[in-house]
Chain A
Amino acid sequence: MAAVASPTSLESAPRIMRVVAECSRSRARAGELRLPHGPVATPVFMPVGTQATMKGITAEQLDALGCRICLGNTYHLGLRPGPELIQKARGLHGFMNWPHNLLTDSGGFQMVSLVSLSEVTEEGVRFRSPYDGDETLLSPERSVEIQNALGSDIIMQLDDVVSSTMTGPRVEEAMYRSIRWLDRCIAAHQRPDKQNLFAIIQGGLDADLRATCLKEMTKRDVPGFAIGGLSGGESKGQFWRMVALSTSRLPKDKPRYLMGVGYATDLVVCVALGCDMFDCVFPTRTARFGSALVPTGNLQLKKKQYEKDFRPIDPECACPTCQKHSRAFLHTLLHSDNTAALHHLTVHNIAYQLRLMSAVRASIVEKRFPDFVRDFMGTMYGDPTLCPSWATEALASVGITLG
């Protein structure tokens, strides 16, 4: 039996976001999050670290790059090593030796993407651990309990996640269930003073369902909202419309976290649409395939054309990789069995993402965000008019023209 929290029974949640500047044309905002482990400037890109470590770099390197918030995965940590052990290690911060902010997800998304044998009921998600074959139930209560033990600064509700390409009654069921699970998470949350519980807006690609979800969830006074259920296999046209719908109905004085978005173009467009926070495995994952992110796209450094290219990945980049190494050396190293090559690229790609967000933020604060967008698209696509049509439409919808 699901408990229902009365919307008016809660005390007002702290306002953790301060809006510093707003774009006069689009919905872009620059802000500052006040979190237990320090302030975070927004818009912000949050690198993803599975299993309490950023694949390829140390916590110290991440700190040196200026990262002030990153992600930990509840699914992996909840199973192994387990919240009891992490609590003994002084929480996830202590376990990782990470002095800044952490955001943990509920564990829900991994269930859809990683576990073939999972079963969703009103109780929660039942699944089989890939590590020891044990059956576990991840309920809203259990997810919050794990995240309370991890001690992350932002925790996510357990939501009923369905693939964005799914249609039919399952989408509606998942949306309503996510609302009920939000209330159960709020009720189970033991540390609202130390950890900020975010709701996750669902509803798939159906405008009505999403609107309903927005109406209901915004009645709950949580410190922030995530826009979920997107960034799967849906078309970009549908994607941006759901983001725009969501930001139009979310309160302005609370952060908007768009989950799973990380391509540079998508980040810039979604900032224009009013999003503040982003996460994605893309930059770290693509690094491990030998791909370096640059303002014009990416460099596949394993390719022969870089064999004798003695320039750094990006002459404008201040990261340790670009300060010390050439494309030619990285090419050579990528063709060896020394994993250091992948670490170099991981460092650079994270630096790239963080630098991009910094530049976006500066342009908003300095009231030149629309020009920034045009420059960005020009660099990325050769000419602003050559940018993908979905992006052009999305930007036009908030008053930014590229022609």
Chain B
Amino acid sequence: MKLSLNKVVNGCRLGKIKNLGKTGDRTMDIPGCLLYTKTGSAPHLTHHTLHKIHGVPAMAQLTLSSLAEHHEVLAEYKEGVGKFIGMPESLLYCSLHDPVSPCPAGYVTNKSVSVWGVGGRVEMTASKFMAIQQALQPDWFQCLSDGEATCDETTSIKRARKSVDRSLLFLDNCLKLQEESEVLQKSMIIGVIEGGDVMEERLRSARETAKRPVGGFLLDGFQGTPTTLETRLHLLSSVTAELPEHKPRLICGVSQPDEVLECIERGVDLFESFFPYQATERGCALTFSFDYQPNPEETLLQQNGTQEEVKYVDQTKKSKTTSCNQEMTSFEINLKEKKPSGKH
């Protein structure tokens, strides 16, 4: 894998990642996004319908939360999750969690991390985690990490420190196990930057993780409400400044267009693409121009617009998934209305 930067403008990195995939001949543009999947399939879409869409991302995101409980089936299948899900030609990145459905906090220990599937909790030590990755055989995977420093309202320094320590320990264990596995030589571990909202810990996490032979970095713990991202942007810049230029930076939990742009300006390369799914679940269609005018007057008008549109969210149908509790944004129109409102 080789990341070539064409240029950097106002902190935004433009480039290509080459020599990707099992055959080493695939390429991805950065900035870029990953195809969001649930249990190995784009939500609601068959392969046939998905490929009627122009510009499907070259790399799909799989989640361990949807696949971990099936690892025995995959191990017996032997040929890797890409082929199993009917996407043999796609690049694959395996994250720990599903960005849309947050999992219950409080289950990370010094020795294990848990994910929640349909059958309940799956607890993973480093060795179980790597055994699962061995069955999946993704191109990239997020390393086992402690992402719960930002789960509480306020992060304690102690908790932030613990998230960094644990994640580094998991990383070292996983790297060691990777050396011992022939199958996993072809997969790349993505190191996870933790540290909650504590600058010192964030910097420590970035510097220490960068010392390890990881293929790229995942910036964890920046997700939340729009306001929390706002407050963390400064932290984000500081973190990316510590990371090597030639390795990709991924961020999880950020998918709304305005937030994506803010993160690109702060040195992030790759994003999840679950925002379309969330809009779909509330019966809304995305309609927005790609002109981004970050001038204060316009932003104020935009914000006022958002306030008004929030009233139109359909209250009559409450879905089980947390995705539907999200409010409608200014990037969409609600098709259930008689005359859909929206900016355009």
A209 to B246, alpha carbons, bound, how many Å? 84
Q: Is the pair B46, A337 in contact by a Cβ cutoff of 8 Å?
A: no
B329 at the interface (CB under 8 A from A): no
A325 to B44, alpha carbons, bound, how many Å? 16
Question: Pick the contact of A337 from B38, B52, B73, B86 — CB < 8 Å?
Answer: B38
Q: A308-B73, A308-B76, A338-B39 are in contact. Are A320 and B45 (CB under 8 A)?
A: no
Q: A307-B73, A332-B73 are in contact. Are A320 and B48 (CB under 8 A)?
A: yes
What are the residues of chain A within 8 A of B40 when measuring CB–CB? 329, 332-333
A215 at the interface (CB under 8 A from B): no
B173 at the interface (CB under 8 A from A): no
Q: Is the pair A328, B52 in contact by a Cβ cutoff of 8 Å?
A: no
A310-342 interface mask toward B, CB cutoff 8 Å, 1 = contact, 0 = none?
100000000011001110110011011111110
Q: Is the pair B41, A333 in contact by a Cβ cutoff of 8 Å?
A: yes
B70 at the interface (CB under 8 A from A): yes
- Apart from A338-B44, A347-B46, list 16 A-B contacts with CB within 8 A: A61-B46, A308-B73, A310-B77, A320-B46, A320-B47, A321-B46, A329-B84, A333-B40, A335-B118, A336-B38, A336-B118, A340-B41, A340-B43, A340-B45, A340-B46, A343-B49
What are the residues of chain A within 8 A of B52 when measuring CB–CB? 60
Interface centre among B38, B52, B321 (most CB of A within 10 A): B38
- Residue pairs across A and B with Cβ atoms less than 8 A apart, 10 shown, are A58-B49, A61-B46, A320-B47, A320-B48, A324-B86, A328-B77, A336-B66, A340-B45, A343-B44, A343-B49
Interface centre among B39, B52, B118 (most CB of A within 10 A): B39
A214 to B124, alpha carbons, bound, how many Å? 71
Q: A333-B39, A335-B118, A336-B39 are in contact. Are A326 and B44 (CB under 8 A)?
A: no
Q: A333-B39, A340-B41 are in contact. Are A324 and B47 (CB under 8 A)?
A: yes
A344 at the interface (CB under 8 A from B): yes
Closest beta carbon of chain A to B214's beta carbon, Å: 30
What are the residues of chain A within 8 A of B73 when measuring CB–CB? 307-308, 328, 332
A269 to B103, alpha carbons, bound, how many Å? 54
Q: Is the pair A337, B42 in contact by a Cβ cutoff of 8 Å?
A: no
B72-107 interface mask toward A, CB cutoff 8 Å, 1 = contact, 0 = none?
010011000000111000000000000000000000
Closest beta carbon of chain A to B280's beta carbon, Å: 11
Nearest CB to that of B42 among chain A residues?
A: A340
Closest beta carbon of chain B to A338's beta carbon, Å: 4
Nearest CB to that of B78 among chain A residues?
A: A310
What are the residues of chain B within 8 A of A61 when measuring CB–CB? 46, 48-49
A337 to B63, alpha carbons, bound, how many Å? 14
What are the residues of chain B within 8 A of A341 when measuring CB–CB? 41
Q: Is the pair A328, B84 in contact by a Cβ cutoff of 8 Å?
A: yes
In B245-301, the 8 Å CB interface with A consists of none
Question: Pick the contact of A332 from B39, B43, B49 — CB < 8 Å?
Answer: B39
Which residues on A are within 8 Å of B, measured CB to CB? 58, 60-61, 64, 307-308, 310, 320-321, 324-326, 328-329, 332-333, 335-341, 343-344, 347
What are the residues of chain A within 8 A of B118 when measuring CB–CB? 335-337
What are the residues of chain A within 8 A of B48 when measuring CB–CB? 61, 64, 320, 347
In B48-74, the 8 Å CB interface with A consists of 48-49, 52, 66, 70, 73
What are the residues of chain A within 8 A of B84 when measuring CB–CB? 326, 328-329
Q: A308-B76, A324-B86, A329-B86 are in contact. Are A338 and B41 (CB under 8 A)?
A: yes
Nearest CB to that of B39 among chain A residues?
A: A336
Q: Is the pair B76, A332 in contact by a Cβ cutoff of 8 Å?
A: no
Q: Is the pair A325, B70 in contact by a Cβ cutoff of 8 Å?
A: no
Interface size on B, residues (CB 8 A): 23
What are the residues of chain A within 8 A of B77 when measuring CB–CB? 308, 310, 328
Closest beta carbon of chain A to B258's beta carbon, Å: 28
What are the residues of chain B within 8 A of A336 when measuring CB–CB? 38-39, 66, 118
A352 to B42, alpha carbons, bound, how many Å? 24
A64 to B321, alpha carbons, bound, how many Å? 34
What are the residues of chain B within 8 A of A325 when measuring CB–CB? 86
Interface centre among A308, A337, A340, A344 (most CB of B within 10 A): A340
Q: A320-B47, A326-B84 are in contact. Are A338 and B38 (CB under 8 A)?
A: yes
Q: Is the pair B42, A332 in contact by a Cβ cutoff of 8 Å?
A: no
Interface centre among B41, B44, B70, B76 (most CB of A within 10 A): B41
A326 to B79, alpha carbons, bound, how many Å? 13
What are the residues of chain B within 8 A of A344 when measuring CB–CB? 46
Interface centre among A307, A336, A339 (most CB of B within 10 A): A336
What are the residues of chain A within 8 A of B85 when measuring CB–CB? 329
A197 to B49, alpha carbons, bound, how many Å? 35
Question: Pick the contact of A338 from B43, B47, B70, B76 — CB < 8 Å?
Answer: B43
A91 to B136, alpha carbons, bound, how many Å? 49
Closest beta carbon of chain A to B86's beta carbon, Å: 4
B223-250 interface mask toward A, CB cutoff 8 Å, 1 = contact, 0 = none?
0000000000000000000000000000
A307 to B48, alpha carbons, bound, how many Å? 24
Interface centre among A307, A320, A321, A337 (most CB of B within 10 A): A337
Closest beta carbon of chain B to A322's beta carbon, Å: 11
A58 to B39, alpha carbons, bound, how many Å? 22
> Top 7 closest A-B pairs, CB basis?
A336-B39, A324-B86, A338-B38, A340-B41, A320-B48, A325-B86, A339-B44
Nearest CB to that of A326 among chain B residues?
A: B84
What are the residues of chain A within 8 A of B43 when measuring CB–CB? 338-340
Nearest CB to that of A64 among chain B residues?
A: B48
Nearest CB to that of B47 among chain A residues?
A: A324
A307 to B84, alpha carbons, bound, how many Å? 12
Nearest CB to that of A335 among chain B residues?
A: B118
In B287-344, the 8 Å CB interface with A consists of 321
Closest beta carbon of chain A to B205's beta carbon, Å: 33
What are the residues of chain B within 8 A of A340 when measuring CB–CB? 41-46
A320 to B48, alpha carbons, bound, how many Å? 7
Nearest CB to that of A344 among chain B residues?
A: B46
What are the residues of chain B within 8 A of A326 when measuring CB–CB? 84
In B7-52, the 8 Å CB interface with A consists of 38-49, 52
Q: A308-B76, A310-B77 are in contact. Are A332 and B70 (CB under 8 A)?
A: yes
What are the residues of chain A within 8 A of B45 when measuring CB–CB? 340, 343
A332 to B321, alpha carbons, bound, how many Å? 19
Nearest CB to that of B77 among chain A residues?
A: A310
In B182-208, the 8 Å CB interface with A consists of none
A335 to B119, alpha carbons, bound, how many Å? 9
Closest beta carbon of chain B to A289's beta carbon, Å: 18
What are the residues of chain B within 8 A of A308 when measuring CB–CB? 73, 76-77
Closest beta carbon of chain A to B114's beta carbon, Å: 18
